Amino acid sequence: MKVQKPILLIFSQCHIYGGSERLMQSIYKNSYILDEFNIVFSYSYFKDYKIGLKRDIESHNLKTIFKPLYLITNGDIYNKINLKLNNKPLRRLIKLPFFLIEITGLYAIWNIIYFFIYLLILKPDVVHINNGGYPAAKACNQLALILNFFPSINVIYQVNNKAIKKTNFISRNKDKLISKNIRFFLTHSLENKIALIKRGFKETSVRNFPSYFNETILSSNLKPINIRKGRFTLSMVGFLSFRKGQLFLLEALLEIKRLDYSVYCDIQLNFVGDGENKFILEDFIKKNNLTENVTLWGNRPDYIQFIKECDLYMLTSVEGEDLPLVLLTAMQNNRCIIASDFAGISELLTHEYDAFLVKPNLNTIAIDIANAIIYLYKNPEIRDAFSKNVAQTFIENLGEEKYAKNLLKLYNSK
């Protein structure tokens, strides 16, 4: 008689299908985990999210079951307002009615009842909650609260970016309720583990280890000349926001223009992604006459082509990172990398061995990036060495089996 495998439920909630969401492929496509669990991947339904997920799974014959949950949140609405309107006061005015509805508690009541019924029907043995940060996605925390009624379920709560500090009495007590039935919090760097402990979670319940990712290759009509435009090419993929550091990279480009005009003229900078800072970046590019050197491509499913076809991959975040998925993709593709020196980035990479790391100091990061770009532009042999070494770093530290073993220890803990 065949023994039924236990059920692993993965839940994720975000209004965009970004890096933290795509990272879940390292679990639901992982052969070692699939050998031990029947996996159900559930997510808060958003149209754009479903489209992105479909791209990642449609060409694979997967055993995992995918189930959208029709929860109510304001995230998707707020994001669409941010992308369409540059006027901040008008944004706030339009968001106000939705905010007022949310604070009545109607959204939370619907979501909690929905989760309760879903858990009763599915009967999972392990629940893996995937959150972009902490506290971050409200639905993730609502699920954690409801799981207090299911003490037999082993709960793992993954936090992909840095947890923010507690602000008041309410948040402290909410954390206690959320963490009551969570076996382990999981993050990818020691720095972010410390941030969770400082927030008040028990040190014994917080684990950290690097993630793993094997990129889904999607077809593209883009040719290298479309991306490179015959120049030395820099690429950056990610949500357009202050913390991702695109604005500092543009400031670095102006510094290069001042320091070495010939290098500046040979640079093509590509930003792939969309987000709340789109209008700010567009204005900066126009005001500083950077349109010949910078292209905003928006969201693209074939973003990996921009990583493959760059001379330097840029990861110049200034806050809130852990171990970004795009970094793993750049490493897999042997790219020469300039990255910010903090969190999981600096725990995995070594300055001037497999990457060039810059301090995320708001006062100096632009000039530091500029100097790094000029240095690597003029020293192709250094770029080649970094590319070779970063591929070796990936092989030695990251892998499907190693990642699975670490996760299975948490899933099977009693």
Among 167-171, 244-248, 373-377, the minimum mean pLDDT is found in 167-171
Q: Do 5-211+398-410 and 230-396 come out as alike in CATH topology?
A: yes
Question: Which pLDDT score is estimated for 67?
Answer: 96
Question: Which pLDDT score is estimated for 267?
Answer: 97
Cis peptide before 135 (omega within 30 of 0): yes
Confidence category of residue 59, pLDDT binned at 50, 70, 90:
confident
Mean pLDDT over 315-339 rounds to 90
% of the chain residues with pLDDT over 70:
98
Sorted by where each begins, the domain ranges of the chain are 5-211+398-410, 230-396
pTM across the whole model: 0.86
Question: Which pLDDT score is estimated for 217?
Answer: 66
* pLDDT at 2 exceeding the cut of 70: no
Of residues 40 and 167, which shows the higher confidence score? 40
Of residues 48 and 148, which shows the higher confidence score? 148
Confidence category of residue 151, pLDDT binned at 50, 70, 90:
very high
Q: Domain 230-396's class?
A: alpha beta
Question: Which pLDDT score is estimated for 218?
Answer: 67
Among 38-42, 88-92, 114-118, the minimum mean pLDDT is found in 88-92
Give the count of beta carbons closer than 10 Å to the beta carbon of residue 414.
4
Query: What average pLDDT does the chain have?
Result: 92
Fold of 5-211+398-410: Rossmann fold (3.40.50)
Mean pLDDT over 270-294 rounds to 95
Question: Which pLDDT score is estimated for 79?
Answer: 78
Question: Which pLDDT score is estimated for 136?
Answer: 86
Confidence category of residue 278, pLDDT binned at 50, 70, 90:
very high
Q: 3-state SS of the chain?
A: CCCCCCEEEEEECCCCCCHHHHCCHHHHCCHHHHCCCEEEEEEECCHHHHHHHHHHHCCCCCCCEEEEECCCCCHHHHHHHHHHCCCHHHHHHHHHHHHHHHHCCHHHHHHHHHHHHHHHHHCCCEEEEEECCECCCHHHHHHHHHHHHCCCCEEEEEECCCECCCCCHHHHHHHHHHHCCCCEEEECCHHHHHHHHHHCCCHHHEEECCCCCCCCCCCCCCCHHHHHCCCEEEEEECCCCHHHCHHHHHHHHHHHHHHCHHHHHCEEEEEEECCCCHHHHHHHHHHCCCCCCEEECECCCCCHHHHHCCCEEEECCCCCCCCCHHHHHHHHCCCCEEEECCHHHHHHCCECCCEEEECCCCCCHHHHHHHHHHHHHHCHHHHHHHHHHHHHHHHHHCCHHHHHHHHHHHHCCC
